[in-house]
Amino acid sequence: MGTTTPSATTTSSELVRLLPAGRVIVDRDTRASFAHDEAAGAPFGMPVAVVRPHDTAEVAAVVAYCAERGVPLVARGAGTGLSGGANAIEGCVVVSFTAMDAIVRIDPDERLAVVQPGVVNDHLRAACAEKGLWYPPDPASAPWSTIGGNVATNAGGLCCVKYGVTRDYVLGLEAVTGRGETVRLGRQTAKGTAGYELAGLMVGSEGTLGLVTEVTLRLRGARAQERTVVGYFDDLPSAGRAVARVVASGVVPSALELVDGYCLRAVDDWTNMGLTEVGNVLLLARCDAPGAAGDQEADTVLSCFESAGATWSARSTDAAEADALFAARRLVYPALERLGLVLSEDICVPRMLVPEMLAHLERIALAHDVHIASLAHAGDGNLHPMMVVSRGDAAALARGRGVFEEIVDQAIVLGGTVTGEHGVGLLKMRGLAQELSPAVLDLHRGIKKVFDPAGIFNPGKVFTSY
């Protein structure tokens, strides 16, 4: 690393000379549009330049330049993150992967796809479907978020309760490490045990270990037909008991989603779907076992809903109606954004403790005289409590953050984790330091030093300030 960091003007001008024309953005207004993700209230700075590389060689050249001069680098996908992980720091270079958006190949025989990091999740899923294949990870942001961002945060989604998260599908990847070296990690075979699982380390590392330039993903065969079960409940504890009964039954649904009344009203006010006409809390389940087994699973889930006190429940016989309900669930966050600034948490607790955590959310809301909206991938214990505050109200934002720190602490007490799929970024750093022991944090720092000896990758995020 150089002894002094070059000035902003020097960095931007040297990058312009280093890369082909059109790769480096220096216009201030455009740079500002790359300064932060969707995390409400997370701090950010102004990048000195935004680089849009077209291939791995260009990424490597940028990393080598920044490592030699001590210039921080922040990787960015679509900017849909909710933890501040892609936020710029003052004086950094943002590397945007939007131009590296090629699906290199889809191999139906080996059931794998090779893609660049800028590929949009839904675009990959559609391309796989054309070949009778399926890529399961499906975050709510799938229409916009990119595979690179999904890898960075180990994204999950609605179906991860049964089919797992991004890490379960990353066979291998290409990345540029902290000296500007390009490495290939993992494999393209169905199994393999050669060496440490370094590709797995990169998944969920939030851009702190290197810049991923290509990903090899495991695929599944075409998805089986799903049966949808709908249940409405008077309150969160009743819905939580239904979730616990489904877990205890042994059925593993392909989705089990919880949406509370506040979220339902927000979507209704936007779309006039009539979601709140039946009840206060909605549970949506899907079962996809083949044939009669799928029918039996759906019947079991329905029985669990009924015995937990559902005010109305049924197996949906209208596929379009069922799809509309799941589409409405994906609309919750943008519907809430219409009302104000959305503070969103991402805790995960043991599945059987979902009812207890929901009760704690109600207690915390009452104690602080606030409303906490609840949205959850309930089948795997991943809860997304949310608060809506007026834009520009700094005091309300601070109170909301305080409430969420209490929620994080309670999740840890229950044996949970500070983030199920959004990543630590800037907003969960205190919680991570509570969740992991000092010895484990030191292991993380040691790994980072190996991958990033100059300390340029996404500094000040995740664990580096603790």
CATH number at residue 315: 3.30.70.2190
- Domain-embedded: residue 458: no
216 and 115 in a common domain? yes
Q: How do residues 65-106 score in pLDDT, each as one tens digit?
A: 999 999 999 999 999 999 999 999 999 999 999 999 999 999
- The mean of the pLDDT values for the chain is 95
Among 62, 80, 98, the domain boundary falls at 98
272 and 207 in a common domain? no
140-150 average pLDDT score: 95
Write the single-letter amino acid at 272. N
Domains identified in the chain, total number: 4
Which of 336, 328, 232 is CA-nearest to residue 282? 232
Paired strand residues for 25: 50
The residue range of the domain holding 409 is 340-428
> What local confidence, expressed as pLDDT, does residue 235 receive?
93
420 and 346 in a common domain? yes
Residue 236: pLDDT over 60: yes
Which of 215, 216, 212 is CA-nearest to residue 458? 212
- Domain-embedded: residue 111: yes
**Ramachandran quadrant class, 383 (left: phi over 0; alpha: psi -120 to 50; beta: rest):** beta
358 and 321 in a common domain? no
- Domain-embedded: residue 375: yes
- Six-digit token pair at 142? 């799938």
- Domain-embedded: residue 415: yes
Q: How far apart are CA 201 and CA 153, in angstroms?
A: 11
- Domain-embedded: residue 84: yes
Q: C-alpha distances in angstroms, 422 versus 258, 338, 398?
A: 18, 21, 20
Q: How do residues 164-194 score in pLDDT, each as one tens digit?
A: 999 999 999 999 999 999 999 999 998 999 9
351-367 average pLDDT score: 95
> What local confidence, expressed as pLDDT, does residue 137 receive?
96
Q: How far apart are CA 101 and CA 246, in angstroms?
A: 40
Q: How many CB atoms lie within 10 A of CB 126?
A: 11
Write the single-letter amino acid at 161. V
Paired strand residues for 373: 386
Among 330, 359, 384, the domain boundary falls at 330
350 and 302 in a common domain? no
Residue 244: pLDDT over 70: yes
344 and 326 in a common domain? no
212 and 114 in a common domain? yes
346-367 average pLDDT score: 95
- Six-digit token pair at 284? 């949506």
Among 302, 330, 358, the domain boundary falls at 330
Tell me the pairing of strands 93-96 and 103-107. Answer: unpaired
Percent of the chain with pLDDT over 70: 99
321 and 304 in a common domain? yes
228 and 156 in a common domain? no
- Domain-embedded: residue 65: yes
Q: How far apart are CA 6 and CA 300, in angstroms?
A: 64
